[in-house]
Structure 1
């Protein structure tokens, strides 16, 4: 990723932008399910999930796993791998916004640089 630094905030260079808010794969799937007119309860039943688990994924309160991505692929015909890449990007962007973890990471970098 090409960035320039101003203070502690990386500034993005054109065509290499990070969205202000990460997109959870459940948000995309929720829109798709609504567009297709599919009931969440019916889809959950078809996938062998509880309604609450499916709803938590669709509302970004639960992560997409490899198994759930494959279940969505089977049920909706949406490739699992792009869903998992989206989940990874979501996880990474969310983690980078965790100030406590980023402070810890900075400390590890300082120690590693001294080795």
Structure 2
């Protein structure tokens, strides 16, 4: 039996980071298109502005806890996996920010000597 003690988390099959992160809005957009629901109707049913819904579905606005719960109520799509997807999306985007990653490396260097 092979030991997994020295295997990087990035090497585990179920832990692969996608090259392009998936925003939950892309999944929700596919879902409402598949169901034939208009964005205007869904926004009205959810009690949110059409522009807010459209920005989420077009990946220009993050999904919040409140909007995830509204999608859950309107579509029956579980809010928690959507929020986890948003968190993974956010983290992967931040990891591509070289200025922030440099700052993070500096903090790690300082913390290592404490």
TM-score scaled by structure 1?
0.89
User: Structure 2 unaligned runs (5+)?
Assistant: 1-6
Higher normalized helix content (fraction of residues) = 2
User: Structure 1 unaligned runs (5+)?
Assistant: 5-11
Mapped to 1, the partners of 2:24 and 2:41 lie a distance apart of 20
Mapped to 1, the partners of 2:80 and 2:104 lie a distance apart of 29
| Large movers: runs of 4+ above 4 Å | none
Could you say which residue in structure 1 is the equivalent of 2:100?
Answer: 101
| CA positional deviation for 1:65 | 0.3
Q: Residue 3 of structure 1: which of 2, 5, 8 is its match?
A: 8
Could you say which residue in structure 2 is the equivalent of 1:77?
Answer: 76
After superposition, the CA RMSD in angstroms is 1.3
TM-score scaled by structure 2?
0.90
Count of aligned residue pairs for this structure pair: 107
